[in-house]
Amino acid sequence: MLKQRKFMLLFVLLLSVGMVLAACGGSTNEEENAGNDAEGEEKSGDDFSAAMVTDVGGVDDKSFNQSSWEGLKAFGEEHGLEKGKAGFDYAQSESEADYLSNLNRLVKDDFNLIFGIGYKLSDAIKEVASRYEDTNFAIVDSVVEGDNIASITFKEHQGSFLVGVAAALKTETDKVGFVGATESELIEKFEAGFTAGAKSVNKDIDVQVQYAGGFDKADKGKLIASNMYEQGVDVIYHAAGATGNGVFAQAKDIKKNNPEDNVWVIGVDRDQYEEGQIGEDNVTLTSMVKRVDVAVQDLSNKAKEGNFPGGELLEYGLQDEAISVADTNEEAYTEDIAKEVEAWKEKIVNGDVEVPKTRDELKKFVESL
């Protein structure tokens, strides 16, 4: 009987120790699993993806869309992201009918931040953003109200004024031209600024203005440029996206057929020096550089860090170094021109010159000269 009691006591003791060990082992596994879960949650919270919907003209339009894409790619490379759903990407718009479907597709692909590149996407951004309040959106070159929408604009009229000064200093015929994509509030800023700059140098200069009716009409841009050059214009500033490729093509054709002809193009949005290369010559006088790439990368970083400026307007200008004049073609854009442009830049930044943004403001500006 005593032996039986000792045996039962030993059995209970061993059973208790086993339960304690099992409990300890279970606790350890739970803690490890909890740690893994926490690590997974932290990793998931650190994920961030951004994408953009282009306007027509293509992501390689050598202008506005391309500059935006370069900014998004720079953001991706900065954070080790890959092109695709989990990193950064773009949706190509072949026509305005693609805006809504492209935006909706990127929302369904769970991108955290989606850019609409160009003012023409304003209505589509507003509509989609109102339906997907958990997704952040940004519109470039327009202002759209919404708590989950950030609006990015630039002081294009300031940069356009400066290239207008350069055009007036470069022309040998006192005739310069402006080719716009579509007649809109945005492109009017380019036209008004350019004309004001040219007439600030020479009030009697002839500034010819024509619009192509779209950002993807290179053939129309070429035809307009051909007519302008035939009428004695020797410097053309384009604010027309891929339509401007036609302006470059016409200038290069003229230069190729007669290298002694001095015809020039002023590029837009990015330094378009390479677009003007024709043999040993280059027809790009300068470019009004609008750092859309910087703005896109800057806003993407803000959003990734949890500082998305929803409902705010971000405006970039000369004082932010987001608007500038390219000096790549040193043979054409001479030191004398550069000095004069810099002097006008200081006047604008200091507030001594208020650059017009509309045709009405331009009329008053010219009358005051």
**Average pLDDT over every residue of 182-205:** 97
Q: How many CB atoms lie within 10 A of CB 364?
A: 10
CATH topology assigned to domain 156-290+334-367 = Rossmann fold (3.40.50)
Query: Would you state the pLDDT for residue 46?
Result: 64
Query: How is 25-43 classified by DSSP, letter by letter?
Result: HHHHHHHHHHHHHHHHHHH
Q: What is the pLDDT of residue 30?
A: 40
pLDDT tens digits, 253-268: 999 999 999 999 999 9
The CA distance from 170 to 234, in Å, is 9
- The band of 23, judged by pLDDT with boundaries at 50, 70 and 90, is very low
pLDDT bin (cut points 50, 70, 90) of residue 305 is very high
Return the ∠ at Cα 80 (arms to 75 and 83), rounded to 5°: 70
Whether residue 191 is predicted with pLDDT greater than 70 in this model: the reply is yes
pLDDT tens digits for range 50-97:
999 999 988 998 888 999 999 999 999 999 999 999 999 999 999 999
Average pLDDT over residues 113-119: 96
Domain spans, the chain: 50-154, 156-290+334-367
Local structure of 87: helix, strand or coil: coil
Decide if 50-154 and 156-290+334-367 have a common fold: yes
Q: How far is CA 154 from CA 45, 151, 186, in A?
A: 33, 10, 10
Find the radius of gyration of the CA atoms of the chain. 30
Q: Which helix (H) or strand (E) holds 145?
A: none
Q: Band of the pLDDT at 29, cuts 50, 70, 90? A: very low
Tell me which fold the domain 50-154 belongs to: Rossmann fold (3.40.50)
Return mean pLDDT, the chain: 90
